[in-house]
Amino acid sequence: MEGLPDEALAQVAAYFQALAEPSRLQLLNLLRQHERSVGELAQLCGFSAANVSRHLALLTRHGLIARESRGNSAYYRIADPAVYQLCDLVCGSLARQHEQVLRQRALFTAPAPARRRRPVRGADL
């Protein structure tokens, strides 16, 4: 991103905004293996067809997926498989952060070592 003009940075931000919605990430995962129609996607994810169509339109505008009309149906497929590499990088980073938090928490939740009892002086008098 170094040296990019403000207009290009705005496009990069819009691309990330397209990925910032869990519903759209779910749709991208459903398209990972093969193309699907709006109806199929709606049924698989439990959203309305109108809601799926809105998300797909946004993903299409950003070049992440491609649309093809066949008869009365529209089919969607991944246009840029690099999106999965990007998501894998983010998921890996989040997993490492999560592991680090768990390690730090373990430092505070580890059981304290058992204390040895000291004999009381003069107890045998």
- Residue 91 domain-assigned (yes or no): no
**Rounded mean pLDDT, 108-125:** 66
Following DSSP, what letter does each residue of 82-123 receive, concatenated?
A: HHHHHHHHHHHHHHHHHHHHHHHHHHHHSPPPPPPPPPPTTT
- Residue 46 domain-assigned (yes or no): yes
Q: Which comes out higher in pLDDT, residue 63 or 107? A: 63
Strands 65-70 and 73-78: antiparallel
Q: Which comes out higher in pLDDT, residue 125 or 97? A: 97
- Residue 71 domain-assigned (yes or no): yes
pLDDT at res. 45: 93
- Residue 38 domain-assigned (yes or no): yes
Contact 74, 67 (CB under 8 A): yes
For the cut 80, the answer to whether the pLDDT of residue 71 exceeds it is yes
The CA distance from 95 to 101, in Å, is 10
Any idea which residue has 């994810």 for tokens? 45
What CATH code is carried by the domain that includes residue 22?
A: 1.10.10.10
Quote the domain boundaries for residue 25.
6-80
- Residue 75 domain-assigned (yes or no): yes
pTM above 0.85, yes or no: no
pLDDT at res. 105: 85
- Residue 54 domain-assigned (yes or no): yes
- Residue 113 domain-assigned (yes or no): no
